[in-house]
Amino acid sequence: MEAIYAVWDPDIVIRPDPDFPEGTCFGREAAQRFWESNREMMGGARLIIDEEHDLGDRCLVRIRQPVHSRSGYEGAYSWSVIVTTRAQKVIMVEFFIDHDKALAALALDPASPAAQ
């Protein structure tokens, strides 16, 4: 995780899915607490990247997150994630459970390769 945190801008913004109870996180420390809390709750499994689309200063990533929670729940979640960069640092990470909402946030044409 340290390699991931190393590319985060000190003023990074993390926006969880609007349906998630967590609010937006501002700054590296708050972002790390969000990330570590999520990993602890979901069981810390590796994320599986199903798709990745380079959109210039943004990247749209479709991921699957296996879940092995402390409560015994086993399963997986699928996410769309928009990562925004500036000067080779990640300045924002936005999570979407609904892929269509991620596409709308990017204002992508549903017929584009990233929308498929």
CATH number of the domain residue 77 falls in: 3.10.450.50
Q: What is the pLDDT tens value at each position of the chain, 116 positions in all?
A: 788 889 999 999 999 988 888 889 999 999 999 888 877 776 666 788 999 999 989 999 999 888 777 777 788 888 899 999 999 999 999 999 888 889 888 886 555 555 55
Q: What is the pTM of this model?
A: 0.80
Query: Does the residue 32 lie in any domain?
Result: yes
Residue-level pLDDT at 90: 95
Which pLDDT does position 11 carry in this prediction?
96
Checking 41-48 for CB contacts under 8 A at 24+ apart, the result is: 41/69, 41/70, 42/66, 42/67, 42/68, 42/69, 42/77, 43/67, 43/68, 43/69, 43/70, 44/68
* Owning domain of residue 9: 2-102
- Residue 92 lies inside a defined structural domain of this protein: yes
Domain count, the chain: 1
In a domain, 67, yes or no: yes
Does residue 112 fall inside a structural domain?
no
